[in-house]
Amino acid sequence: MTTLPYLKFAGPVLDAATIDGVAEVLRSGQLTSGPWVKEFEAALSAFCEGRPVRVLTSATAAIEVALQLCGIGPGDEVITSAQSFFTVLNMIAKVGAKPVFVDCDLVTRNIDLTAVEAAITPRTRAIMPTHWPGSLVDMDALHALARRHRLRVIEDAALVIGSRWNGRNVGAFGDLVTFSFHPNKNITSIEGGALVVNDDGEAARVDPLRFHGITYLPDSTRDVAFPGGKFNLPDVNARIGVAQLARLPEFLAQRRALADRYFARFSSDPACALPPLPAAAGDDGQSWNMWSVLLPLSRMTLTRRAFRAAMEARGIGTGVSYEALHLCTLGRSYGYKDGAFPATERIARETVTLPLHPAMALADVDRVCSAVAEIIVPARP
């Protein structure tokens, strides 16, 4: 239907210098974890105001290790939002704990902290919120709640590296924080993630957890006391991560410009529900990893699947962010049913993620906005 180039809904920007850097690592022969991992961790630590950081093969691995670091396992409960990616549910279940879901705010998609407090029981060990690109969880309220109940906080910050709270980078404060470097995120190491911890003692405990559980005895032989995974990041990935982190301010500036353009140009009849507006002109607090809208399906003759197919036919990719965790097969196995969390379930039914990544131009946003309006108008009943 279109002769225009295909517009992905997400994707990384990799420059020639970074690609050449990968070749240098390959020629060096140091392919597994080595000097570039140390450099990447040091750069991330500086970004997080000196807090210790350990990189891993994914944000999923970072969450699993964070749960293990907290000693969370069978008989424990972790409170989290039903509106998140499957990683959150999977890793809580994998360590043997019980995921306790609560609803989210319909506009910001952030976890409902009032519902979190109501869900706390003697078995609760941690709160795991997922931050959203357009609006962070209220960090002051979150950590005050955790302190009152002596709970750990494991922040799923996969989508928001570069977002700020009261002028400080996410990861620079709080408890445990996890980042993702998947190709769809604000920076990439192709695959990879990071765990920000509180002190060198916790960092030392992460090291065996990400590498077979191995510790060294005085005679240099090895021992294992806990079944750790193998989550060490290769130097090739770390080399990419170092270059990407250096360009993060540039990437964020373009993402914010694209988000501003969406807010200025987006219009549909009937109207879609939009992300939260930026707090103020020039606000640099949000990183805008993605831009998701809720389709007005109750006032349309078109299904979401048909809408996405129509966008695809126009050469525009879309995503779904995210399904309701409590209604997937694993979530239902804990007794959750339809109707438990209305905001989460509406988002799961109606959400569509539209293209937003730093390779886009403002004209690409105009193209997306025009396509959405063009598809929705004839779909009115």
- Position 2 scores a pLDDT of 65
Contact by Cβ (8 Å): 178, 158 = yes
Same domain, 213 and 145: yes
Of the candidates 272, 363, 360, 368, the residue with the CA atom closest to the CA atom of residue 312: 368
Same domain, 288 and 304: yes
Same domain, 102 and 215: yes
> 153 by DSSP, 3-state: which?
strand
- Give, in order, the Cα–Cα distances in Å from 57 to each of 27, 116, 202, 223, 273: 22, 30, 19, 23, 35
- Position 284 scores a pLDDT of 57
The reply to whether 21 falls in a domain is yes
- Position 90 scores a pLDDT of 98
- Position 3 scores a pLDDT of 81
The reply to whether 324 falls in a domain is yes
The reply to whether 351 falls in a domain is yes
Q: What percent of the chain has pLDDT over 90?
A: 93
Say how many domains are in the chain.
Answer: 2
Query: For residues 144, 147, 152 and 156, what is the CA-based torsion angle, rounded to 10 degrees?
Result: 0
Same domain, 102 and 151: yes
- Position 281 scores a pLDDT of 40
- Give, in order, the Cα–Cα distances in Å from 134 to each of 71, 89, 122, 267, 309: 32, 23, 33, 19, 26
Q: Which of 8, 185, 230, 337 is catalytic?
A: 185
**What CATH number is attached to the domain comprising 121?**
3.40.640.10
Same domain, 237 and 282: no
38 is catalytic: no
Same domain, 113 and 191: yes
> 379 by DSSP, 3-state: which?
helix
The reply to whether 11 falls in a domain is no
Same domain, 241 and 260: no
Same domain, 283 and 187: no
Q: How many whole angstroms separate alpha carbon 194 and alpha carbon 109? A: 23
The reply to whether 216 falls in a domain is yes
For the record, the structure tokens of 31 come out as 């392919």
Same domain, 263 and 366: yes
State which of 246, 276, 311 marks the end of a domain.
Answer: 246
DSSP 8-state secondary structure symbol assigned to residue 111:
B
Same domain, 41 and 146: yes
The reply to whether 8 falls in a domain is no
pLDDT tens across 171-194, in order?
999 999 999 999 999 999 999 999
State which of 246, 270, 305 marks the end of a domain.
Answer: 246
The reply to whether 40 falls in a domain is yes
Contact by Cβ (8 Å): 68, 167 = no
Q: Which range marks the domain in which residue 311 is found?
A: 248-379
Q: Is the N-terminal amide bond of 270 cis, ω within 30° of 0? A: yes
pTM of the model: 0.95
- Position 135 scores a pLDDT of 87
Same domain, 278 and 223: no
State which of 204, 221, 246 marks the end of a domain.
Answer: 246
For the record, the structure tokens of 343 come out as 């905001």
Same domain, 76 and 214: yes
Q: Strand 193-196 to strand 53-56: parallel, antiparallel, or no bridges (unpaired)?
A: antiparallel
> 95 by DSSP, 3-state: which?
coil
Q: What tens-digit pLDDT sequence spans the chain (381 residues)?
A: 568 999 999 999 999 999 999 999 999 988 899 999 999 999 999 999 999 999 999 999 999 999 999 999 999 999 999 999 999 999 999 999 999 999 999 999 999 999 999 999 999 999 999 999 888 999 999 999 999 999 999 999 999 999 999 999 999 999 999 999 999 999 999 999 999 999 999 999 999 999 999 999 999 999 999 999 999 999 999 999 999 999 999 999 999 999 999 999 999 999 999 999 876 443 458 899 999 999 999 999 999 999 999 999 999 999 999 999 999 999 999 999 999 999 999 999 999 999 999 999 999 999 999 999 999 987 667
**What CATH number is attached to the domain comprising 283?**
3.90.1150.10
- Position 202 scores a pLDDT of 98
- Position 283 scores a pLDDT of 43
Q: Strand 168-169 to strand 164-165: parallel, antiparallel, or no bridges (unpaired)?
A: antiparallel
Contact by Cβ (8 Å): 177, 170 = yes
